[in-house]
Amino acid sequence: METKKIIIAIDGFSSCGKSTFAKAIAAKLGYIFIDTGAMYRAVALYALEHGAFARDEVNRERVEALLDEIEISFRFNPERGASDIYINGVYAEERIRSIEVSNCVSKVSSIAAVREKLVALQQQMGRDRGVVMDGRDIGTVVFPDAEIKLFMTADPKVRAERRYKELTAKGDSVTMEEILENVISRDEADMTREISPLRRADDALELDNSYMSVEEQMAWFMEHYKRVVE
């Protein structure tokens, strides 16, 4: 008998390893992995490149006007074992991860029209279930009926170190201080924004992975998964 397909919603703070874990779960279960942070980053990148920012301030009307011309899609990249993001058919996976985008994405993700557009797209992507989706509002807004909801946390310093290693390995010149500042300010912005703030859904399981390997997290998750699908 085929196991029933479910939705696994993973929310939590930035740089908690949500995407790494979500990707590993998707590979193990043969599910589709959807990184919703990448979608907000894509809109932020497009907004940056199309004059919607002046002196770090966002022009909301300009972003709203740009929304209609942004088409976001994912294409599976076998080398990475995950999907790369495309904006209007143009590869954008690497550019959306820059510190410039990280610094302005909260301003874009707090705009109601942006959230409406992306939430609708995410709901459509998960309509056949069999997806692992990570973000900030998946278990609360996008799929409140998800069969499994995880809320991930980790010590901010541990998170900043992980991000630092990731960026410097790619050759980005960043300092630990600016990364830690970015992690803390994004936590704050995510939790205090008016629309869909980051919060743990009442029925979400909390996972603090500060000192856990992906293997340990997976063992913990699989115990729970088996109980849900059996």
Give min distance, CB of 18 to ligand DC, in A: 6
Q: Which stretch binds ligand DC (CB under 6 A): 25-33, 34-42, 76-84, 86-94?
A: 34-42
Among 137, 159, 183, 201, the residue binding ligand DC under the rule CB under 6 A is 137
Distance of CA 3 to the CA centre of its chain: 27
Select from 52-60, 62-70, 131-139, 153-161 the region that touches ligand DC (CB under 6 A): 131-139
Q: Is 140 in the site for ligand DC (CB under 6 A)?
A: no
Residues in the chain: 230
Q: Which of 186, 201, 217, 221 binds ligand DC (CB under 6 A)?
A: 186
- Distance between CA atoms of residues 161 and 144, nearest Å: 32
> What is the size of the binding site for ligand DC (CB under 6 A)?
13
Among 103, 109, 140, 182, binds ligand DC (CB under 6 A): 109
Q: Which residues of 71-97 are buried (b: 16+ CB within 10 A; e: fewer)?
A: ebebeeeeeeebbbbbbeeeebbebbb
DSSP 136: S
Instruction: Give the integer Cα–Cα distance in Å for 67 and 121.
Output: 13
Residue identified by tokens 């869909």 is 196
Question: Is the CB of residue 7 less than 8 Å from the CB of residue 147?
Answer: yes
CB of 82 to ligand DC, least distance (A): 13
Contact present, 191 and 197 (Cβ < 8 Å) = yes
CB count within 10 Å of CB 101 equals 20
Q: Which of residues 11-30 bind ligand DC (CB under 6 A)?
A: 14
Of 43, 36, 29, 42, give the one whose Cα is nearest residue 9: 36
Decide if residue 209 touches ligand DC (CB under 6 A).
no
Shortest Å distance, C-beta 216 to ligand DC: 22
Q: Residue 197 and residue 193: Cα distance in Å, rounded?
A: 5
Stretch that binds ligand DC, among 32-40, 59-67, 82-90, 163-171 (CB under 6 A): 32-40
Q: Nearer Cβ to ligand DC, position 93 or 190? A: 190
The one segment of 130-138, 145-153, 159-167, 168-176 that binds ligand DC by CB under 6 A: 130-138
Tokens 């894509």 -> residue: 42
- Write down the least CB distance from residue 40 to ligand DC, Å: 3
Does residue 85 interact with ligand DC by CB under 6 A?
no
| Residues at the contact surface with ligand DC, assessed by CB under 6 A | 14, 36-37, 40-41, 105-106, 109, 135-137, 186, 190
